[in-house]
Structure 1
Amino acid sequence: MAELVYPPVIGMARTMFKALDLRFDIQGTENIPRRGGAVLVSNHIGYLDFVFAGLTTRPAKRLVRFMAKESVFRHKVSGPLMRAMKHIPVDRKQGIDAYRHAVQSLRSGEIIGVFPEATISESFTLKGFKSGAARMAQEASVPLLPIALWGTQRLWTKGHKRDLGRHHFPITVRVGEPMDADPSEPADSITERLRARVQELLEAAQRAYPVRPKGPDDTWWVPAHLGGTAPAPPQPAGH
């Protein structure tokens, strides 16, 4: 079936990025498979992450069907677009339907995009990963594609106003090699390996990021452990 909406939306996004003069550094796109299903797994630091994560598959001429919370599909503007682009709504109270939809799509050769932290990390560090991505990859017999985004939080993130001015913000993205999801390995174990790999990619992206805060008022987007003023990550229970 022809993709009547997705390509024009991508074109609009690229036009917007050009207008904002964003500076992209995307490495590892050769790891995106040219055909067949895969679960693309990304960290989550801003509201536009799905757009930037989706850019990684363009050299392979692939489209990503993202799993997103159902409320996005109810919005009068984003809802029709999300449905037309065949993204997958997730009702967190009844997630099994979205899970089955995703597995079926993976088996039919689609790339499914997942943010396993479920919500934006306000500390800009990795939160715990839910095991759904690993379980889907196991059930559909497809690989996991770990990626890390950095700099996207500067455009629009939780607790901060959108900043879509022409500031030449760098956006750094790293795509890792596909990871097997062996059905004989516990999903929690795969999830731990996956999170560790995304962490490695995130640290690589942060090291490669070409700018540092311009002053004391510009440190909000840098994690506390890197000398910034982003909120510290929540401590696990019992600490």
Structure 2
Amino acid sequence: MAELVYRPIVGAACTLFKALDLKIDTQGAQNIPTTGGAVLVSNHIGYLDFIFAGLAALPQKRLVRFMAKESVFRHRIGGPLMRGMKHIPVDRQKGEDAYSHALEALRAGEIVGVFPEATISQSFTLKSFKSGAARLAQEAGVPLIPVALWGTQRLWTKGRPRNLKRSHIPITIRVGEPVEAPADQYAGAITRRLRERVQELLEAAQRAYPVRPKDATDTWWVPSHLGGTAPTPAEVREAR
């Protein structure tokens, strides 16, 4: 079926990123299968993460159908685009509908993108994972593809103004080897293994990141355990 919306949107995004002179470094894209279903699982640190996680699949000529909160689909402009790209709305009051939709897509050979932390991590560290991604992979009989993003929080994240000017910001993307999800294993154990793999990839992305804060006013995007001034996970919880 022709992708009358998705591919033009990808082209527009790539043109925009080139205009912004973003330095996108992707490694491991060969780990994304060229055919068949898979659950792509990424950390979540910024509002544009679904775009960059999706870019990781382009070298394999794959498009990712992301699960996203239902309110995005009600947006006057974004809603029609999300539906046109066949992303999957998630109504938290009716989670079984989104699950069934994602399962159907996986069985049809699609890649489904999931952010198992559910919301953006304001500490820029990895939060706990929900088990839905593992359960989807088990039921569909497909692998989990771990992905880590770094630098996307500097463009647009929760509680910060957007920075969509020509800023030359590096974006680092790391894709890991597939994590199998056998049907006879406990989903919680698979989820823990998956989270450990994303954590390893995240640390690798952080080590490879080519820039450090310019000065003391530019440390907000660096986690506290790495010497930055981002709130700790405990401080984020206390602020709610």
TM-score (norm 1): 0.98
Structure 1 stretches of 4+ moved >2 Å: 234-237
Aligned twin of 1:143: 143
Matched with 2:194 is 194
How big is each residue's C-alpha offset from its partner over 1:178-228, in whole Å with a ceiling of 9 and x where there is no partner? Answer: 110011110000000000000000000000000000001100000000000
Query: Which structure 2 segments of 5+ residues have no match?
Result: none
For the residues of structure 1 that align with 2:43 and 2:93, how far apart are their CA atoms? 23
- Do structure 1's residue 105 and structure 2's residue 127 form an aligned pair? no
The 1-side partners of 2:211 and 2:20 are apart by 17
2:65 alignment partner, SS class: strand
Deviation at 1:234, TM superposition (A): 2.6
- The whole-number CA distance in structure 2 between the counterparts of 1:139 and 1:157 is 33
Residue number in structure 2 paired with 1:22? 22
Q: Which residue of 2 aligns with 1:52?
A: 52
In 2, the alpha carbon distance for the partners of 1:234 and 1:82 equals: 34
Return the alpha-carbon distance in structure 2 between the equivalents of residues 200 and 96 of structure 1: 31
Question: Secondary structure of the equivalent of 1:39?
Answer: strand
| Alpha-carbon distance in structure 2 between the residues aligned to 1:5 and 1:24 | 23
Give the distance between the partners of 2:5 and 2:204, measured in 1 at CA: 34
Q: Using the alignment, how far apart are the partners of 2:68 and 2:224 within structure 1? A: 28
Q: Matches of residues 110-129 of structure 1 in structure 2 within 5 Å?
A: 110-129=110-129
CA distance in 2, matches of 1:23, 1:3: 27
Please report how far the alpha carbon of residue 165 of structure 1 lies from its aligned counterpart in structure 2 after TM superposition. Answer: 1.4
Tell me the distance in 2 between the aligned counterparts of 1:10 and 1:166.
19
Corresponding residue for residue 220 of structure 1: 220
Distance 1:170 1:80 in 2: 30
Deviation at 1:2, TM superposition (A): 1.0
What is the aligned-residue identity percentage?
73
**In structure 1, what is the equivalent of residue 154 of structure 2?**
154
Give the aligned residue type for 2:65.
Answer: R
Report the counterpart of residue 207 of structure 2 in structure 1.
Answer: 207
Higher helix share: 2
Matching residue of 1:64: 64
Q: Unaligned 5+ residue runs, structure 1?
A: none
* Distance in 1 between residues matched to 2:139 and 2:209, nearest whole Å: 36
Structure 1: distance between partners of 2:234 and 2:182: 31
Alignment of 1:88-103 (within 5 A): 88-103=88-103
